[in-house]
Chain A
């Protein structure tokens, strides 16, 4: 049995790598055991340990000449050697049980859940998709965060300020860069411009004489281009009124706030 190992320390944890090769002419069952002073943290898939692993090591079945690499972690300082081959046993070559001990067979049938978890892909959404508590506020409502900062932000700095926003460790309590606010208001302006264009057109058609109406229709590429204009302008009016009410209410609230950030920073 050819055996090599290597151990790294990462904080409180030892990471052990080893390689076993069966240099006999017959299949062997090999027991590799940890000598570290802590339970083995075996490789897992979907939270379920790989076949053959337990808390003191792994049992492998190696065909003649087969080489296998394995690794595990343990919460203990490294020792010399960190692993050893505890047992080598002959295997009946007709038996095709993989790496498991005979005793482990019924264990795996007992837990269909573990089998399903081991064989199927992980269902969990990726960690990055789940905002943790600290940045949830900033992620959930960027408009509020940037809007409140905009009032005190003063001079808009479009280019470089946006780049600042991509800092590796954004502080959730820090005011958002004023550039983002400008961008947001630019988008609002663009939308308002579109609405203004529609209203302009509707105004020119209101009580228009024939010549002006003809001109407006021609500009819109025919009457078809104007279909639905009255409904959309009416809808615009409703939305704009709502928006204006809300915007003025928010502006009043924004003016009324007086967060004592400086005082808090001094206390911190």
Chain B
């Protein structure tokens, strides 16, 4: 099972949710943001190397509370990365580990589209603001063209009651509300997923709900 976490707009919390949903799914999270990686890095080969044909994709797996395939931080690496290798790289990791969560970049260029094309399903992250919804709708259209079925959308960092029904109607998938919780915000940097750090919190429950929507 390959799940793409996408959302069009930057800064809505795609990486954070990808990391936490991967924790709930006991999956590997792959930092597919080739230009602006933000999952924890580390030593050793990364996704840039795998996509440049310089490393076996399985060598890039980095163990942790949530296993991560980190992505390089250099422009040269982003330029050398060949997206045509993404499908086989992700498939190799899927064979090894079962479930893979792809943290997609923002935008509508090839680096955002190819992960959607590779994925079996996608999860859209939207911020409760109207401008972010417009980008999510465009990403939804892109995912539909590329046959990545939408399993749900996460309305992230909610502080007051959002128009969940309107968002679900606009995107055509059940919308789950992830309440604003500083422990979620810190989870990636501290490598402590919220389902472990605060299993009883509302945010952890929301993450588990999103994970339950993902077919295995």
Size of the chain B interface, CB-CB below 8 angstroms: 26
Contact residue range for chain A? 20 to 34
Contact status B117-A123, CB under 8 Å: no
**A191 at the binding interface (Cβ < 8 Å):** no
List of B residues within 8 angstroms of A131 by Cβ: 76
List of A residues within 8 angstroms of B86 by Cβ: 113
How long is the Cα–Cα vector from A122 to B147 in the complex, in angstroms? Answer: 20
List residues 101-117 of chain B with CB under 8 A from any CB of chain A.
Answer: 105, 108-114, 116-117
How long is the Cα–Cα vector from A47 to B79 in the complex, in angstroms? Answer: 13
Contact status B75-A123, CB under 8 Å: no
Distance of B50 from chain A, by nearest CB (Å)? 15
Q: From known contacts A113-B114, A116-B116, A130-B75, infer whether A122 and B109 are also in contact, taking CB-CB under 8 Å.
A: yes
Chain A positions 101 through 117: 1 when the CB is less than 8 Å from some CB of chain B, otherwise 0? 00000000000111111
Q: From known contacts A115-B117, A116-B117, infer whether A130 and B79 are also in contact, taking CB-CB under 8 Å.
A: yes
Contact status A123-B109, CB under 8 Å: yes
How long is the Cα–Cα vector from A119 to B108 in the complex, in angstroms? Answer: 10
**B118 at the binding interface (Cβ < 8 Å):** yes
Q: When the two chains form the complex, which single residue of B35, B75, B84, B109 contacts A120, counting CB atoms closer than 8 Å?
A: B109
**B83 at the binding interface (Cβ < 8 Å):** yes
**B17 at the binding interface (Cβ < 8 Å):** no
**A124 at the binding interface (Cβ < 8 Å):** yes
Q: From known contacts A47-B82, A123-B34, A123-B83, infer whether A116 and B110 are also in contact, taking CB-CB under 8 Å.
A: yes
Binding site for B on A (CB under 8 A): 46-48, 112-117, 119-125, 127, 129-131
Selected A-B contacts with CB under 8 Å, 19 pairs: A46-B110, A47-B82, A48-B84, A112-B117, A113-B84, A113-B117, A116-B110, A116-B113, A120-B108, A120-B114, A121-B109, A121-B110, A122-B110, A123-B83, A123-B105, A123-B110, A125-B35, A129-B75, A130-B79
